[in-house]
Amino acid sequence: MTPIFRAMKAHDIESCYAMTQQLNWPHRREDWQQALALGEGVVIEEQGKLLGSAVLWRWGERAATIGLVIVNNQQQGRGLGKQLMLTLLEKVPDYNVRLHATEMGKGLYEKLGFVTTGKILQHQTRALAAVPPVVMPAGVTLRRAQAQDVATLTALDQQAHGMLRSPLIAHIVSEHQTVLLEDTRGTVHGFASLRRFGHGWAIGPVIAQDFPAAQALVASLMQGLRGEFVRIDTDAALPLAGWLATLGLAQVDNPTTMVRGTPWTVPAGGMQAFGLMTQAMA
């Protein structure tokens, strides 16, 4: 029987959730719903059974991410993962496409034109024991982000990694606890968001001008999370990981950042992405 590749629909979420459960991935049904609401997915179906999935997110007219690439363990070796990727890549032929690869997936992605640009360190704790004090950088104050901040935060987010994620930023401001650092002139020095994800709480994205600003943002969102599951995915090239380890957030994974196209270069003095939204959406 020839497998069918088709667009992912809302009714596929239950099957996709079941596949991630089999892989011991932490995604809840709600996480899948959010992923599909912001992106576009493709699934493989054979005789009415879902065999695999992948999701593409377009961030503006030149950048995209791909994630949640899954093939049922019993269907490995049929080239289905490659077909999933090709189906999505055909939609964005001129885009710079980013993904985060497992060791198992790196070989496939390299054959599809992706190159390694870095590492992501996944840090988490089952029960946050050390809630850090909020040490504010000089000259800035912390406040909750509002709807009128979305355009500014979107521009800062794009500065950090080249992706224009307006729908995502609007979502985290309206639906989740999102805070920002602002000076007396109204200039924003960074922002970060806290939301339910997987086994508990995830902090990200964390977009900041420098490490002290990122620390202040993360610490502010950790207040009240003592004893809770907390996860942050951070760039290995930035210094946040070492500090997270001192708080008891152990490193549990280190996927490879890969890009097909032109890797993004942060402008001198520009914002940096200290924390991801998710490994899939970046």
> What 3-state class would DSSP assign to 204?
strand
What is the average per-residue pLDDT within 263-273? Answer: 94
- Whole-number pLDDT of residue 256: 98
- What is the tens place of the pLDDT at every residue in 134-183? 999 999 999 999 999 999 999 999 999 999 999 999 999 999 999 999 99
Tokens 């009415």 appear where? 48
Domains, in order of start, for the chain:
4-94 (3.40.630.30), 123-254+265-275 (3.40.630.30)
User: Is 70 exceeded by the pLDDT of residue 199?
Assistant: yes
User: Is 80 exceeded by the pLDDT of residue 76?
Assistant: no
- What is the tens place of the pLDDT at every residue in 216-261? 999 999 999 999 999 999 999 999 999 999 999 999 999 999 999 9
| Structure-token pair, residue 147 | 């709807």
- Whole-number pLDDT of residue 154: 98
> What 3-state class would DSSP assign to 28?
coil
CB atoms within 10 A of CB 210: 16
Residue 113, phi-psi category: left (phi > 0), alpha (psi -120 to 50), beta (remainder): left
Question: Global pTM?
Answer: 0.96
- Whole-number pLDDT of residue 281: 96
Contact yes or no for 42/53 (Cβ under 8 A): yes
State the amino acid at position 177 in one-letter form. Answer: Q
- Whole-number pLDDT of residue 2: 84
Q: Which residues sit opposite 259 in a β-bridge?
A: 98, 115
